[in-house]
């Protein structure tokens, strides 16, 4: 395991170079080119970047554990204003980071090069803006912002300061997604007409609250003041992938949301269905619920030549390799003997799901595929070292945030929301 | 316990029957390659295991038929032997 972690950086560059050699990626996923090219470094290659963690709750702690394994990162400080998280963050971070309870104090620390923000959604925008004011590069968990106005402010601030802003959309660093993207650009899927994505869980989505006064602080995802629920906390990932693969943002969105299972005082939907329309009439159909987990999480991208199931990392051709002739002959004989007489005409073919099991997009054992969150932190540290934002990285975060915010608006206001009107 | 003796003639006869079964299965493979699209004559080699299995299935079916035929013919052959 430790060997795997040591080679991830090398694997990242080597795998990416191999894939980028195909051509399509170099132009459309610029972070690959930036990582492999020799840009004069702002921080010497031998040095680590000093990172401050703002927010050490469940996601923050997970990111600290990943960061512990990134050679280019030194965790210089952690910050949380909730005592158990504050202690736990300091405990699990490697080295001897300083502890802060106020993020503004952390931002005053001149030794810190960049911050990783993993706080409740409603705090993201202000923290990003404050970090930019303090001259720090930022990695912020998704969704990047809670409102359109915040998204505009953050976008303006990044462009003004020229500092790095990366959002926690780790799929853009996943070798399977990158290969799929390249293959799609080369025409493997044919004409893409629809993306169907879903994220299903079965659970109340609540965290343990030691005393009632902490309910809103700990279960912030349940309340509209702090979060837009399933849209900002889950859908953001799939909307980022849709925007990336389709090379565009949606034109409009319609949808329906409800609280129809977990009627426990929460304010955010526990059951959402939204349809985004992209240029060319492409639809992204997304649904999420937390009362049934049978189908789990998947993003199915459909073209007239094939289909991706990107969470599984699989490709299904519309014309799969035919079985051997002898097997088809045996099958025909078997059907002619044992099948009941069909009630429809001879031309009728049942349109059940294909039983074709597809093929893996990246022919590599699962254990060898580098972890995408680890890679996203590797990439962040490298870009901070080079001191140069990756073109397009800001837009990945902003566009995904805008898509989920307007998806929620369509459900709340029960109307078709037009992106160009909202963003004017 | 009485030894079972299988004569060389019987072995030869059974082997010949299996060979016919194999040829029938092989013929089916040739037919299927010609009949279906997206097939190749390389399947004559790659699908040989299926052909061998199929030949044993034919042999077993044929053996069953022969057994039924023998059982059905048994009363007549016994009556004939008494006369």
Inter-chain CB proximity A326 and B37 less than 8 Å: no
Q: Indicate the residue of B32, B46, B54 with minimum beta-carbon distance to A328.
A: B32
Residue A285 has pLDDT above 70, yes or no: yes
What integer is the mean pLDDT of A151-176?
95
Residue pLDDT, tens place only, A27-39: 556 666 666 666 5
Question: For position A260, what pLDDT does the model report?
Answer: 95
- Say whether the ipTM exceeds 0.90: no
Q: Under an 8 A CB cutoff, do B38 and A327 touch?
A: no
Q: A331 lies in which domain range?
A: 189-363+401-423
Average pLDDT of the residues of chain A: 90
Tell me what the mean pLDDT of segment A157-174 comes to.
Answer: 95
pLDDT by residue (tens digit) across A308-321?
999 999 999 998 88
Could you read off the pLDDT of A92-121 as tens digits, one per residue? 999 999 999 999 999 999 999 999 999 999
B44 → chain A, closest CA residue: A326
Beta-strand relationship, A98-100 and A306-309 = unpaired
Supply the pLDDT for residue B83.
47
Per-residue model confidence (pLDDT) at position A122: 98
Do A262 and A130 lie in one domain? The reply is no
pLDDT tier for residue A4 given thresholds of 50, 70 and 90? very low
**Sign for the pseudo-dihedral over CA of A117, A119, A125, A129:** negative
- Whether A266 and A385 share a structural domain: no
Residues A137 and A242 in one domain: no
Same domain, A23 and A77: yes
- CB distance A384 to A113 below 8 Å: yes
Q: pLDDT grade, residue A370 (50/70/90)? A: confident
In three-state secondary structure terms, B9 is helix
Kindly tell me if the per-residue pLDDT of A43 is higher than 80. no
Q: Total structural domains in chain A?
A: 2
Structural domain includes residue A317: yes
Q: Is the pLDDT of residue A9 over 60?
A: no
- Identify the CA nearest to A295 among candidates A366, A400, A196: A196
In a domain, A1, yes or no: no
Amino acid B1: pLDDT: 74
pLDDT (0 to 100) of residue A349: 57
Q: How far apart are CA A321 and CA A340, in angstroms?
A: 28
Q: Check CB contact under 8 Å for B37 and A330.
A: no
Contact A12, A371 (CB under 8 A): no
Among A272, A151, A140, residue whose Cα is nearest residue A205: A272
Distance from CA of A333 to the nearest CA of B (A): 11
Decide if A178 is inside a domain. no
Residue A325 with chain B: CB contacts under 8 Å: 29, 32-33, 35-36, 39, 43, 47
Beta partners for residue A271, in sequence order: A258, A289
Domain boundaries, chain B: 8-78
- Distances, alpha carbon A286 to alpha carbons A39, A147, A271, A315, in Å: 40, 20, 11, 20
> Is there a single domain that holds both residue A84 and residue A210?
no
Q: A325, B39: Cβ pair inside 8 Å?
A: yes
A31 and A153 both lie in a single domain: yes
Co-location of A162 and A238 in the same domain: no
DSSP element (H, E) containing A273: strand A271-278
pLDDT band of residue A18 (cuts 50, 70, 90) is: low
Q: Within a domain: residue A265?
A: yes
* Same-domain pairing of A268 and A229: yes
Same domain, A228 and A332: yes
pLDDT of res. A7: 44
Per-residue model confidence (pLDDT) at position A169: 95
CB neighbours of residue B40 within 10 Å = 10
Could you tell me which residue, A273 or A20, shows the higher pLDDT? A273
Same domain as A202, residue A141: no
Top pLDDT among A251 and A16 is at: A251
Candidates A174, A125, A134; CA nearest to A405 is A125
Amino acid A11: pLDDT: 60
Evaluated on CA atoms A218, A219, A223, A226, the torsion sign reads positive
Question: How many angstroms away from the CA of B3 is the closest CA of chain A?
Answer: 41
Min CA distance, B18 vs chain A (Å)? Answer: 19
Split at pLDDT 50, 70, 90, the class of A3 is: very low
Mean pLDDT within A380-386: 91
Domain-embedded: residue A180: no
Same domain, A165 and A271: no
> Could you tell me the CA-to-CA distances from A330 to A298, A337, B49, B82 in Å, in that order?
36, 11, 14, 47
Share of chain A above pLDDT 70, in %: 87
Half-sphere exposure of B73 (CA within 13 A, CB side): 8
Assess whether A64 and A153 both reside in one domain: yes
Confidence of residue A6 (pLDDT cuts 50, 70, 90): very low
Name the percent of chain B lying above pLDDT 70: 93
């Amino acid at each position: 395991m430790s060997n795997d972690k040591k080679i991830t950086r090398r694997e990242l560059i080597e795998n990416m170079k191999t894939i980028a050699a195909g051509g399509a990626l170099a132009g459309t996923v610029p972070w690959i080119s930036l990582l492999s090219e020799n840009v004069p470094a702002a921080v010497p290659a031998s040095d680590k970047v000093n990172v401050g963690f703002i927010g050490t709750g469940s996601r923050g702690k997970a990111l600290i554990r990943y960061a512990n394994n990134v050679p280019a990162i030194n965790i210089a400080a952690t910050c949380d204003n909730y005592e158990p998280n504050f202690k736990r963050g300091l405990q699990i971070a490697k080295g001897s980071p300083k502890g802060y309870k106020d993020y503004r104090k952390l931002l005053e620390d001149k030794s810190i090069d960049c911050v990783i923000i993993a706080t409740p959604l409603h705090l993201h925008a202000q923290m990003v803006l404050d970090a930019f004011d303090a001259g720090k590069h930022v990695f912020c968990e998704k969704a990047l912002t809670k409102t359109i106005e915040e998204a505009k402010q953050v976008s303006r601030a990044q462009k003004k300061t020229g500092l790095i802003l990366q959002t926690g959309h780790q799929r853009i660093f996943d070798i399977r997604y990158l290969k799929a993207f390249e293959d799609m650009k080369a025409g493997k899927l044919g004409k893409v007409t629809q993306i169907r994505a879903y994220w299903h869980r079965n659970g109340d989505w609540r965290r343990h609250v030691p005393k009632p006064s902490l309910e809103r602080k700990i279960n912030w995802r349940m309340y509209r003041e702090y979060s837009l629920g399933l849209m900002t906390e889950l859908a953001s990932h799939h909307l980022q992938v849709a925007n990336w693969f389709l090379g565009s943002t949606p034109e409009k969105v319609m949808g329906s949301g409800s609280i129809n299972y977990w009627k426990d005082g929460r304010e955010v939907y526990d059951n959402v269905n939204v349809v985004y329309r992209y240029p060319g009439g492409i639809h992204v159909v997304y649904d999420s619920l937390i009362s049934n987990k049978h189908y789990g999480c998947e993003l199915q991208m459909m073209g007239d030549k094939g289909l991706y199931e990107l969470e599984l990392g699989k490709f299904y051709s519309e014309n799969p390799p035919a079985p051997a002739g002898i097997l088809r002959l045996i099958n025909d004989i078997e059907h002619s003997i044992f099948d009941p007489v069909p009630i429809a005409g001879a031309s009728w073919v049942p349109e059940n799901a294909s039983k074709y099991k597809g093929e893996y997009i990246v022919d590599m054992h699962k254990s060898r595929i580098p972890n995408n969150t680890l890679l996203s932190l590797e990439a962040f540290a490298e870009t901070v070292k080079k001191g140069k934002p990756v073109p397009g990285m800001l837009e990945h975060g902003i566009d995904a945030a805008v898509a989920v915010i307007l998806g929620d608006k369509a459900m709340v206001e029960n109307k078709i929301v037009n992106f160009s009107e909202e963003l004017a | 316990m009485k030894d079972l003796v299988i004569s060389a003639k019987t072995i030869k006869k059974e082997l010949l029957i299996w060979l016919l079964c194999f040829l029938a299965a092989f013929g089916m493979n040739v037919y299927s390659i010609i009949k279906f699209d997206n097939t190749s004559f390389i399947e004559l080699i790659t699908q040989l295991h299926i052909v061998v299995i199929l030949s044993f299935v034919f042999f077993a079916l044929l053996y069953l038929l022969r057994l039924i035929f023998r059982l059905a013919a048994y009363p007549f052959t016994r009556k004939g032997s008494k006369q």
